[in-house]
Amino acid sequence: MSRHAADAHVQAEFVAALKAGDEAAFRVLMEREGGRLLAVARRMLGREDDAQEAVQASFVKAARAIGGFDGQAALGTWLYRIAINECLMVLRARARAREVAVEDLQPLFDRWDCRQEPLWQFNESVEEMLERRGVAERIMDAIHSLPETARNVILLRDIEELSTEDAAKALGITPGALKVRLHRARAALKKLLEPLFLDADEEK
């Protein structure tokens, strides 16, 4: 038996145990995948208590839905998608008191199409900016202050690095609509972050 076939056999036996309600197998699943799911939930939700609850809810839903697991995706990938959807539900349920309208965060131009505001060159990806020392928390705060549609597309594409197709499927929109949302969301995030990076440039 090849290594791949052996791994597939072990996976099939493990899934069968989960479907049979084997509590020991489920504990193994939680130990194996819990840390990764918690990291995802922390990035998406930004609050430890919400992240912990989202992971717990994800495992509960996984236990209820395991009977329908068809093996088309890896078990970890299937569980990851459940966690992503759970985080999206939490984000949708949150109060929107801190949200800023995306329209208010688009760049302003005069009648000659010249930008009216200080220009900050947005050459870094969101992921690259997060690697800068001391700014990650402020960037995540800015992301979480965006409206739901903008926040979710940034989280899925730029933070979780889902493909356009997978992110669109998770949000229930077309890939084309997702690309439009992402463009506007990045522009809005740029405006929120301009004071931070303009101040940093002035200090150099």
Tokens representing 43 are 């990035």
Alpha-carbon distance 102 to 51, whole Å?
26
CATH code (residue 185): 1.10.10.10
* 75 and 113 belong to one structural domain: no
Q: Which of left, alpha, beta for 172 (phi over 0: left; psi -120 to 50: alpha)? A: left
Tokens representing 104 are 């208010």
Domain end position, chosen among 32, 60, 93: 93
Structural domain boundaries enclosing 80:
3-93
- The pTM score is 0.70
* 69 and 123 belong to one structural domain: no
Dihedral over Cα of 112, 117, 118, 120: its sign? negative
Please list the pLDDT of the chain residue by residue as tens digits (204 residues). Answer: 566 666 677 888 999 999 999 999 999 999 999 999 999 999 899 889 999 999 999 999 999 999 999 888 889 999 999 999 999 998 887 745 455 555 555 555 545 455 445 444 555 565 665 555 567 778 888 888 888 889 999 999 999 999 999 999 999 999 999 999 999 999 888 888 887 766 554 444
Domain end position, chosen among 56, 72, 93: 93
Provide the number of structural domains found in the chain: 2
